[in-house]
Amino acid sequence: MAGQKKTKQPKANMDAYIEGAGTVVQQPIVETLEKNYMPYAMSVIVSRAFPEIDGFKPSHRKLLYTMYKMGLLTGGRTKSANVVGQTMRLNPHGDQAIYETMVRLSRGNETLLHPYVDSKGSFGKAYSRDMAYAASRYTEVKLEAICAELFRDIDKNTVDFVPNYDNTMQEPTLLPSTFPTILVNANVGIGVSMASAVCPFNLTELCETTIALMRNPDHNLHDTLKAPDFPGGGYIVYDYDEIDKVFKTGRGSIKVRCKWHYNKPSNCIEITEIPSTTSIEAIIEKIATLIKLGKIREIKYVRDETDLEGLTIGIDLKQGTDPEKLMQKLYKLTPLQDNYSCNFNILVHGYPKVMGVKEILSEWIDFRMDCVRRRVNFELAKKQEKLHLLKGLEKILADIDKAIKIIRETVSEQEVIPNLMIGFAIDEIQADYVAEIKLRNLNEEYILNRTKDIESLSKDIGELNETLGSDKKIKNIIIGELKEVVKKYGQPRKSEILYDVVEQAEDFVDETPDFACHLFLSKEGYFKKITPQSLRMSGEQKLKDGDSISQQFDATNKTELLFFTDKCNVYKTKALNFSETRASAMGSFIPAELGFEQDENILKLVCTKDYKGYLIYIFKNGKVAKVPLNVFETKTNRKKMTKAYTDKQEILEMFFVEENTDIMLTSSGGRAILFNTALVTPKQTRDTIGVCVMKLKAKTEVHKAYIASQEFALQNERYIVKSIPAVGCFLSEADDPDQIKMF
């Protein structure tokens, strides 16, 4: 009633209706992953990421089948938006995802060796990151002619059909392609914990290889299948062992180079084809970076000259540059030579499987034989059905008047077919067929013309039965179809093959400028590289309050720098990686520049150009280690090396010496020794604990270490020891270690 106050209903006790509500049940993580994560992972792999033996992912198959049902195989083009809208009946994952799939299948995008979509309008380019495709309302599409081979006899029960997501229509689980599409066009996918990358092969070579395998399972693939063939062209650097590995295992790496020519009048290199794994923008950015770093000095300018005629990258050269040598350098340093990593992970009967080329073709042959067998069964059933009807019609020929009389004298329409069955000893299907013949066709001429096909039908049925019983005949059908495909759609290779290419083993000449410089390192970790001219014109070194210069060196721009830290790490870099500065500048903060760990500080800087000499580690327990500096030399540009020295004992000091020298140690017990580093045997292990040099009493330790000059050693012979370990002499007050001249 209006104005009546509503009473609040008590909240229902849900625990009374839900068994076990509110209880917490422990579940092992392995069981949780198996029940919750594994179904998701398999769904991604099976329903999205990986292609099946027909060569298509579900998104590709749904799109192409939709276009086929729209009549776009033989009709004119339609707006891409129309196709996208229709495809959502099979693939309801958003129009943008569907359109992007269409773009990659189109001729205009140039992603595929044999495109499936005939496109009109801007579809972007596979070789350009920035060249975008137009919206779907502007572009137009239809199916390419080769798609007729994808759908041949699809209406003859060659493949299974399943309901779509809302059970309103049927869609094929696979496409009955008449050629091995799985290896004709590239297919890349990333699933959960696994990936797939199938490189394309030339259609003619692949079909010939498939035919050869059907005739001889032991056929050598290399006789007919040379190497992959990429839609972007370029050169394939032939490596028999690597290609053989791909053929046998489905894994390996194919090396692809760009195609270029030298325009002598303009002193310019023009690149017209690039590896399919890179883009114009990535190449230009890499070259520009190398120019800025000074690693390439032969190039004046690099630009993108791509137009409607196709891809072109222009590289202007400086006078006197050898274009061949420059390209060899660019192959090493840029994506102009790149590797296509093969991983032939394909779904077979619903499960991912990594296979070699021969195994994939064998699986496809089995799949195609099943398609042909199902088609023959379909045709056989149709012919048997027709023959059955004609044999019933043949019996009518014996007495047409009798058939007319039976029909005329039958009172009820429902009795016509049973009476015909009785009168001519035919079954219901045959009787129904006879009863449906028009009155004008109940003449001897019509019936004779129809029954002439009985003999040819019987012959066809016999041949079809023979075909079903012979794998050889089914293979011959497939071979004939493959030959037809080659004749219609075969094309020359786009990727040329380079045989006997000798890779340059030696490194390129480093053209980085080398000049004299002075290096300074402060206690707080600030580093400066100053040229002699700048240093002469400078005043005092600018430093933070309380900071001071701890090390300084006369070096060159190519000097290698090793920063040893108090956490047993060494960070490697080069002087050329730092900009020249002035004494009035603060300099570069090394821990930030090289990415030190938290609370990690510099212990010592070592400079070298040839990694000759030794590192001498002095430990507080009296032990000394001697390690050749070349143990820190690496072929790769490693920036950080751990275990630069042992962490099992506390380090006091570290010295770099080019040759054996004298070192003085003083202990907290007041003793001192002067020993030559020749007494210590060098070790190749970086974190060696060394050998005992100074014997120490309990609760004493080495607390100072110095490199002694020859003059000091001659004046203080009483501290010199001839063998180690040694106790040493008491240090007199007159011998002040802090006055020792350092190297």
Q: Is cis: bond before 163, omega within 30 of 0?
A: no
Residues 107-141 pLDDT 10s: 999 999 999 999 999 999 999 999 999 999 999 99
**Mean per-residue pLDDT for 185-191?**
88
What's residue 70's pLDDT?
A: 95
Token pair, residue 278, equals: 């890179």
Which has the higher per-residue pLDDT, 221 or 350?
221
Residues 690-721 pLDDT 10s: 999 999 988 899 988 988 888 888 888 888 88
Token pair, residue 400, equals: 């047409």
Residues 530-577 pLDDT 10s: 988 888 887 788 888 888 999 999 999 889 999 999 999 999 998 888
Residues 244-265 pLDDT 10s: 999 999 999 999 999 999 999 9
Q: Is 138 a catalytic residue?
A: yes
In this prediction the pTM is 0.67
pLDDT exceeds 60 at position 308: yes
Token pair, residue 235, equals: 């050169």
Which has the higher per-residue pLDDT, 231 or 437?
231
**Mean per-residue pLDDT for 480-496?**
96
Which has the higher per-residue pLDDT, 622 or 637?
622
Q: Please name each of the domains of the chain with its CATH number.
A: 56-176 (3.90.199.10), 259-335 (3.30.1360.40), 367-489 (1.10.268.10), 516-739 (2.120.10.90)
Distance CA 113, CA 99 (A): 20
What's residue 736's pLDDT?
A: 57
Q: What separation in angstroms does the CA of 339 have from each of 129, 274, 495?
A: 19, 12, 14
pLDDT exceeds 50 at position 5: no
What's residue 637's pLDDT?
A: 67
Q: Is 453 exposed, middle or buried (0-12, 13-18, 19+ CB in 10 A)?
A: middle
Q: Which of 37, 40, 138, 165 is catalytic?
A: 138
385: part of which helix (H) or strand (E)?
A: helix 357-397
What distance separates the 2 farthest-apart alpha carbons in the chain? 150
pLDDT exceeds 50 at position 142: yes
pLDDT exceeds 70 at position 3: no
Rg (CA), the chain: 42
Q: How confident is the model at residue 1 (pLDDT cuts 50, 70, 90)?
A: very low
Token pair, residue 159, equals: 């493949």
In the predicted model, what is the mean pLDDT of the chain?
Answer: 88
Strand-pair category, 588-589 with 651-657: unpaired
Q: What separation in angstroms does the CA of 445 have from each of 397, 452, 711?
A: 10, 11, 134
CA nearest 727: which of 656, 675, 684, 659?
675
Q: What separation in angstroms does the CA of 194 have from each of 46, 197, 353, 596?
A: 12, 10, 11, 34
Token pair, residue 145, equals: 């002619």
Beta bridge partners of 627: 615
Which has the higher per-residue pLDDT, 648 or 293?
648
pLDDT exceeds 50 at position 740: no
What's residue 19's pLDDT?
A: 67
What's residue 732's pLDDT?
A: 75
